[in-house]
Structure 1
Amino acid sequence: MSGPLGYSLASYVRSSRTLSNWLKPIAIWYADLSGYRKVGLRYDDLLVEERPDVQRALTRLTPREAYDRAFRFKRASQISVLHKELPKSEWIKPEEDIRYLKPHVLEVVKEDQERRVWDTVNVVRK
């Protein structure tokens, strides 16, 4: 979501140290409240896989990242079936909840934008 000048609210919040320090505890509380860490998932596991850019980004994961992702999904499914949570020692900690897929998604989006520019370039003969 971007504003009238092309700036997003998130980038504005990150640029303001005071606003960022004020909103960070709320963001951490909200992430804890959502419960995905209690079943062993990371934030990027929640991205919608049906999007073409996410599908292409998933093919760029290392074999270890792909295995870990599949393991987290299987474990979360099992936990969901049992209507339980993981033991607190196995919850994903906020410092472990790194964005492993976002860099690949951004790279795919950037390549798509570049491809669109090159596909619509007008060649003029002199």
Structure 2
Amino acid sequence: MALRTTAVLCNSMKKWAYNMAGFNKYGLMRDDCLYENEDVKEALRRLPDHVIDERNFRLVRAIQLSLQKSILPKEEWTKYEEDKLYLSPIVDQVKKERKEREEWEKNY
């Protein structure tokens, strides 16, 4: 019983933190907000064109809303349940490949 209550509370805290971050009010997803270092740029290069187009649309819309000092109507906000990590798995793979390459170059 306590474990179930803890899981519900943990999920509630995740949703609260997600909503407090504020990016969802502009229609952005978590992966849209990643800092674009070399690993993220390589992961973006590997994405299909339609995913890049969707991401660019969300970013341009968010910039426009920010300049207008407004947010989307609440029904258009990105919901916690609908937010999928489309870029993070690819970034993890790129980091793994980079570390493996650095290790190879160091040893051979």
TM-score, L = length of structure 2: 0.88
CA radius of gyration, larger in: 1
The Cα offsets for residues 84-106 of structure 1, whole Å up to 9 and x where unpaired, read as 11112211111221111101100
| 5+ long unaligned stretches in structure 2 | none
Q: Which residue of 1 aligns with 2:88?
A: 102
The equivalent residue for 1:111 is 97
Query: In the TM superposition, what are the counterparts of 1:25-64 in structure 2 within 5 Å?
Result: 25-49=12-36, 51-64=37-50
RMSD, aligned CA = 1.8
Give identity over the alignment, percent.
41
* Structure 1 letter corresponding to 2:95: V
Which has the bigger relative contact order, CA under 8 A and spacing at least 6? Answer: 2
1:71 corresponds, among 43, 46, 57, to 57
User: Match of 1:26, as an amino acid?
Assistant: M
List alignment gaps of at least 5 residues for structure 1: 1-15
CA distance in 1, matches of 2:7, 2:104: 38
Match of 1:12 in 2: none
Q: TM-score, normalised by structure 1?
A: 0.76
